Chain A
Amino acid sequence: MLALRQLWVILKKDILLELRTKEMIVSMLLFVMLTMVVFNYAFNAEKNDLTSFGGGLLWLAFIFTAFLGLNRSFVHEKDEGCFDGLLLSPVDRSIIFIAKMLGNLIFISVVEFAAVPFFTIFFIRYPYYIYWSRLAPFVLGLILGNIGIAGVGTFVATLAINTKRRDLLLPIIGLPLLMPVLAPSVIISGAMMGGNVAGNTAEMVSASMKILVAYDIVFFAAMALIYDAVLGE
């Protein structure tokens, strides 16, 4: 019971700090919108049908947007040595990891769900298509992908907290670790936005979902278990 209260109070604190400072969400929103504008001009989206590339473009924008936010996810902990305050308290390290990860998952998801409507208008020939017939698998794909990104991102951001080049560590370590998340996420989002998928669409989407679920479970459990070691305990 105390563990749940501790988890909730850390998560609540992160949400409260973000609502007050808006450091993560505003910078992520600006970045993802700017990326879309650049893509729009680069691929001449008005003339060319980019529906087939939709999944790739979407996740390219999302992964770097997520990294931007994740790099800032420990800023409040770093200020005034607050992370030491957290480590001094009798909180299981896996609780700290889960709470920080859930916070990151919420912030990344809020930005992505705000960006998706704009993305579909810019790049998808029939944007209404995903809203009605394929909304549920599209949203599920986004959430499963985000769980993987938030888990790995929170873990690597913790590794980077006391390093000088912490902005570099996340893409260098995080991107290779996230390849198994990105590929199925691109397939699911692309297929659900009406793009072409090699082979049978339903089978590919189903297989991709299973890969994401397996990845999320395995990495989440592994990272929660070894978080102690990362924090030097």
Chain B
Amino acid sequence: MTVDLKAEIEVAKLNKYFGRRHVLKNIEFSLAKGGFLSIFGPNGAGKTTLVKILSTLEKPTEGTVRIADVVLGDDPAKARKKIGLISHSPLVYLDLSAYENLEFYGTLYGVADLKERAEYLLERVELSHRRYDLARTFSKGMMQRLAIARALMHRPSILFLDEPYSGLDPHAVDILDGLIDSIRSDHTFVMVSHNLDKGLELCDTAMIIEDGRVIFFQPKREIDVDAFKDTYRRAVRGDL
């Protein structure tokens, strides 16, 4: 696979070991600015580990990751300013209010218009009426909406979404869809999902990882959806 030097995300010869376990095997891909990559695969395939490495939470054992012209090993702090992560866990403090959580993260990122940005995002995720309530009083859906606001607080240009729709009620799904739609044009997305239809609907490139290897990587326009779904099901069953 050729590596695009002008890509927003570029991964070359990436390997990750946990002890003796080879979790990611020679992963290579690149994603252009403004692209939307959906990553599918069975449980334990290495999807979340890949997202953790891309978002600087894990270090690769071998290989290079370049995010927005920054090689992660060289200056991870610079890359972190451009990255937002929405994961299984909301990454919000339960005993801080919604506003305090956003204010906390905004200060860490050096957001200049802290108050206005927090107010705007709370409005966008429809939590402004609960801004002073502790996060522990929120439902799962509200918590996830707060997590979305937290991830967008510092205006990242690249968003990593690790199963962002899991546990969301239909209203929260609509809000997340609307938010993604509104920032889609000037953001790059990488989403891990088990939901084939949702993942395919949003993406412009799809990837399937199985046992730490990329077994499928194609632009959506070239994908035969039925053949893709068949490949995915065989990967989940372990038939590949």
Check if A and B associate. yes
Q: Which residues of chain A have a CB within 8 Å of any CB of chain B?
A: 2, 5-6, 9-10, 13, 16-17, 20-21, 76, 79-82, 84-92, 232-233
| Contact partners of A21 in chain B: CB under 8 A | 95
Interface residue stretch chosen among B37-45, B73-81, B219-227: B73-81
Interface residues of B, count at CB 8 A: 32
Q: Look across to chain A and name the residue whose beta carbon is closest to the beta carbon of B103.
A: A9
Which residues on the A side are within 8 Å of B100 (C-beta)? 16
Q: Does B87 contact A81, Cβ atoms closer than 8 Å? A: yes
Q: What would be 18 A-B contacts, judged by CB atoms less than 8 Å apart? A: A6-B107, A9-B104, A13-B104, A16-B100, A17-B93, A76-B94, A76-B95, A79-B94, A80-B91, A80-B94, A82-B93, A85-B91, A88-B56, A90-B108, A90-B110, A91-B108, A92-B77, A233-B76
Q: Which of A79, A82, A90 contacts B109 (CB 8 A)?
A: A90
Within the complex, what minimum Cβ distance (angstroms) separates B67 from chain A? 13
Interface: B213 (CB within 8 A): no
Q: Are A81 and B108 in contact (CB under 8 A)?
A: no
Apart from A9-B104, A89-B109, 12 more pairs, CB < 8 Å: A6-B108, A10-B108, A16-B100, A17-B93, A80-B92, A80-B93, A81-B89, A81-B90, A82-B91, A84-B87, A89-B105, A90-B109
A13:B87 contact, CB within 8 angstroms: no
- Are the C-beta atoms of B95 and A20 separated by less than 8 Å? yes
With the chains together, A180 CA to B58 CA distance in Å? 35
Identify which of A5, A17, A76, A81 gathers the most chain B CB atoms within 10 Å of its CB. Answer: A81
